[in-house]
């Protein structure tokens, strides 16, 4: 089918739909819902058989839904309506939530229902629930509904609150007054739920060190205590704040400013001197059930060293890269033979930290420092000679983050992972992280060029078929985590591993003789120097637009197939007939 994804932005859900629907042979194009006129123009150009709207911020005009079958993905259970569905569900401690696929009509979220799917609501932040449970449930709904399209006897059912099992209701936009925290009287559980419900956006507005901040990225602390509301200390980028019955780590802050020009930043970076004055709190000794904050974590089991690096949004600042290099060096000193690199639970890595770069005030210099730190990290993985390295992508990866994984000896991904192995969307950035060595050695130069220039997301299965990664493991991400650990343990115990390690060292030595890694790096960095310090400001402009969430005024042509030169509408369509009938 010819399917148009009409969406506010090409977010993770829209990308996953794009990947899964394309893999099933559908013809996809994407249009950002900028305004009625532009969206209508797109629809007329593409003449879709079906429109799917995964992420909208406004109601669509009748000129679209009245003429084209349009499905809206609503992140709520049947009957739920309103713009803050997940926020209410998380904040109010729902144990089960869901997704409903509605046919667009004149009333927001009240269209006829094509499919619904539910899931247990994990205790996690909103953005994580959206990227995992909501996305999986949305896919289930879309595929169920696509199946029903071919059934002429099927009619989507109207929303009926009298129907047994319809628990949802119309909820208003959640405002800051609904999110407010009283540190003196609210429990840790309440505060944690509030910050989790607001994560991603908009955060919980609060007052800290004399200024107003939106809070994000809260983690419970089970050992330390203090005067409710007091700041107790800092660790890595986070600060610890006492509650009446415990304490919470706050990882990210965004200042409330009249002009709205504020960035979400690691809390210690955002607070500056106020955070520097706090005591540095060392990690406690390991204890069962101990909850605390750590972004880099090393463990060993069954002869396998496991290193996870759970950086918020997968963004890796200069300092985080340097700390990770130290952790990697320590892991490489251990008498293990397999090193499992686990990335983060939500993202493997999204490359250099564009927010800390922007906030540094020295965009070019800090970009340079950050890309060099990423390169050092990639090199540290590449130069692991005594251990077999495995990259386990539990979550999505973008730009330099993908190439970081390719530095490992083998790369596996969980099903559902979406990769964006390209830099160009960030203002024509050339990219580094040794990609000119790592990508062609896996897929050849022709494919490497195509991947880099198409700038489209690639699903894990497609990535495996292309040879970009070695495979997809497990039924879901929980199963993936178990399987990759079992695989790593099997390797560590295998009698053939020494042989494999010897071959790897030989290959590396041969490659080094053919062209030293330092040359690849120098060539890439020469191009990056132009991106950062040259006359073309595209990268700095693109970074600014990205970190300040400047909305698109048009859809980039690599996404909007219908706007490309030479696009022609094929013949009559199925869904238009359905709608007419």
Q: CB neighbours of 352 closer than 8 A, spacing ≥ 6?
A: 315, 316, 317, 367, 370, 371, 374, 399, 400
Q: Tell whether omega for the bond before 353 is within 30 degrees of 0, i.e. cis.
A: no
Question: Quick check: 269 binds ligand COA (CB under 6 A)?
Answer: no
One residue of 39, 84, 350, 531 binding ligand COA per CB under 6 A: 350
Which residues are CB-neighbours of 419 under 8 A, at least 6 positions away? Answer: 393, 396, 397, 398, 402, 413, 457, 458, 459, 460, 463, 468, 469
Q: How far is the CB of 453 from ligand COA (least distance, A)?
A: 15
Compute the least distance from the CB of residue 357 to ligand COA, in Å.
8
* DSSP classification of residue 210: T
CA distance 385 to 548: 42
Site for ligand COA in 418-437 (CB under 6 A): 420, 423, 425-426, 429
Q: Which stretch binds ligand COA (CB under 6 A): 31-39, 335-343, 393-401, 567-575?
A: 393-401
Q: At its nearest, how many Å lie between ligand COA and the CB of residue 387? A: 26
393 binds ligand COA (CB under 6 A): no
How many amino acids of this chain bind ligand COA (CB under 6 A)? 23
Cβ atoms < 10 Å from Cβ of 389: 23
531 binds ligand COA per the rule CB under 6 A = no
**In whole angstroms, how large is the CA radius of gyration of the chain?**
24
Options 48, 233, 351, 416; binder of ligand COA; rule CB under 6 A: 351
Q: Is 399 a residue that touches ligand COA (CB under 6 A)?
A: yes
Identify the burial level of 495 via C-beta atoms within 10 angstroms of its C-beta, where 0-12 means exposed, 13-18 middle and 19 or more buried. exposed
362-367: long-range contacts at Cβ-Cβ below 8 A with a sequence spacing of 24 or more?
363/532, 363/540, 363/543, 364/532, 364/533, 364/540, 366/318, 367/528, 367/531, 367/532, 367/539, 367/543
Is the separation of the CB atoms in 82 and 109 below 8 Å? yes
Integer Cα distance of 573 and 49 in angstroms = 5
Token pair 């695989």 is found at 487
8 Å CB contact between 243 and 288: no
Among 1, 8, 11, 538, binds ligand COA (CB under 6 A): 11
Residue number of the CB atom closest to ligand COA: 398
Of positions 174, 315, 438, 463, contacts ligand COA by CB under 6 A: 315
Identified binder of ligand COA from the candidate list 243, 355, 531, 555, rule CB under 6 A? 355
Of the residues 54, 111, 251, 400, which one makes contact with ligand COA according to CB under 6 A: 400
| Residue 105: Cβ within 10 Å count | 19
Q: Select 222 or 425, whichever has its Cβ closest to ligand COA.
A: 425
Q: How far is the CB of 352 from ligand COA (least distance, A)?
A: 5
CA torsion 455-411-400-558 (nearest 10°) is: 0
C-beta of 68 vs 403, nearer to ligand COA? 403
Report, in Å, the least distance between residue 297 CB and ligand COA. Answer: 21
- Candidates 82, 98, 200, 363; binder of ligand COA (CB under 6 A) is 200
CA distance 531 to 525: 9
What's the CA gap between 85 and 134, in Å, rounded?
11
Candidate ranges 25-33, 65-73, 238-246, 398-406; the one touching ligand COA (CB under 6 A)? 398-406
Of the candidates 7, 84, 116, 396, which one interacts with ligand COA according to CB under 6 A? 396
Minimum distance of ligand COA from residue 13's CB (angstroms): 8
Exactly one of 194, 234, 264, 521 binds ligand COA (CB under 6 A); that residue is 264
Rounded to the nearest 5 degrees, what angle is found at the Cα of 303, between the Cα atoms of 295 and 344? 20
Q: Which of 82, 305, 398, 459 binds ligand COA (CB under 6 A)?
A: 398
Interface residue with ligand COA among 39, 105, 243, 313 (CB under 6 A) is 313
Residue 353 lies near ligand COA (rule: CB under 6 A): yes
Please identify, among the stretches 40-48, 173-181, 285-293, 353-361, the one whose residues bind ligand COA according to the rule CB under 6 A.
Answer: 353-361
**Least separation, in Å, of the C-beta of 544 and ligand COA?**
12
Binding segment toward ligand COA, per CB under 6 A, in 135-143, 144-152, 226-234, 310-318: 310-318
The span from the CA of 477 to the CA of 132, in Å, is: 9
Rank residues 352 and 407 by Cβ distance to ligand COA and give the closer one.
352
CA angle 20–393–326, rounded 5-degree value: 155
SS3 250: strand
What residue ranges bind ligand COA (CB under 6 A)? 11-12, 200-201, 264, 313-315, 350-355, 396, 398-400, 420, 423, 425-426, 429
């Amino acid at each position: 089918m010819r399917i148009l994804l009409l969406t506010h932005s090409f977010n993770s859900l829209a990308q996953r739909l794009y990947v899964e629907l394309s893999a099933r042979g559908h013809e996809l194009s994407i249009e950002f819902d900028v305004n009625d006129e532009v969206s209508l123009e797109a629809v007329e150009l593409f003449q879709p058989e079906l429109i799917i709207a995964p992420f909208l911020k406004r109601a669509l005009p009748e000129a679209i839904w009245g003429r084209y079958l349009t499905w809206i993905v609503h992140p709520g259970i049947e009957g739920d309506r309103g713009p803050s569905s997940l926020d209410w569900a998380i904040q109010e401690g729902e144990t089960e939530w869901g997704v409903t696929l509605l046919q667009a009509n004149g009333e927001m979220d009240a269209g006829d229902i094509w499919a619904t799917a539910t899931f247990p609501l994990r205790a996690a932040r909103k953005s994580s629930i959206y990227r995992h449970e909501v996305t999986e449930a949305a896919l289930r709904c879309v595929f169920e509904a696509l199946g029903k399209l071919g059934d002429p006897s099927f009619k989507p059912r109207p929303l009926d609150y009298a129907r047994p099992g319809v628990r949802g209701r119309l909820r208003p936009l959640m405002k800051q007054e609904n999110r407010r925290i009283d540190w003196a009287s609210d429990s840790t559980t309440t505060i944690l739920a509030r910050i989790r419900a607001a994560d991603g956006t908009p955060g919980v507005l609060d007052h800290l060190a004399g200024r107003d901040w939106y809070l994000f990225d809260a983690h419970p602390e089970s050992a330390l205590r203090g005067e409710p509301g007091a700041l107790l200390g800092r660790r890595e980028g986070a600060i610890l704040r006492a509650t009446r019955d415990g304490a919470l780590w706050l990882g990210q802050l965004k200042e409330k400013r009249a002009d709205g020009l504020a960035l979400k930043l690691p809390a210690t970076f955002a607070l500056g001197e106020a955070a520097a004055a706090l005591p540095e709190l060392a990690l406690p000794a390991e204890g069962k059930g101990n909850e605390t904050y750590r972004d880099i974590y090393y463990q060993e089991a069954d002869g396998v060293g496991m290193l996870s690096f759970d950086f918020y949004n997968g963004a890796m600042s200069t300092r985080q890269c340097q700390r990770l290099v130290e952790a990697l060096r320590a892991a490489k000193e251990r008498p293990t033979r397999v090193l499992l690199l686990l990335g983060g639970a939500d993202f493997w890595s999204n490359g250099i930290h564009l927010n800390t770069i922007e906030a540094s005030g020295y965009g070019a210099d800090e970009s340079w420092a950050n890309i060099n730190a990423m390169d050092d990290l990639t090199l540290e993985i590449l130069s692991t000679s005594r251990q077999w390295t495995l990259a386990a992508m539990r979550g999505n990866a973008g730009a330099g983050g993908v190439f970081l994984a390719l530095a490992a000896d083998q790369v596996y991904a969980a099903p559902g992972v979406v990769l964006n192995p390209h830099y160009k969307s960030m203002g024509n950035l050339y990219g580094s992280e040794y990609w000119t060595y790592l990508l062609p050695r896996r897929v050849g130069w022709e494919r490497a060029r195509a991947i880099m220039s198409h700038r489209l997301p690639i699903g894990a299965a497609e990535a495996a078929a292309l040879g970009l990664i070695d495979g997809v493991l497990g039924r879901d991400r929980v199963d993936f985590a178990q399987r990759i650990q079992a695989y790593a343990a099997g390797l560590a115990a295998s009698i053939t591993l020494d042989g494999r390690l010897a071959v790897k060292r030989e290959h590396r030595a041969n490659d080094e003789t053919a062209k030293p890694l330092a040359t690849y790096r120098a060539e890439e960095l020469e191009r990056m120097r132009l991106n950062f310090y040259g006359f073309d400001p595209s990268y700095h402009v693109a970074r600014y637009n990205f970190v300040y969430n400047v909305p698109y005024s048009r859809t980039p042509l690599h996404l909007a197939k219908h706007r490309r030169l030479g696009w022609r509408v094929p013949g009559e369509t199925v869904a238009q007939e359905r709608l007419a009938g």
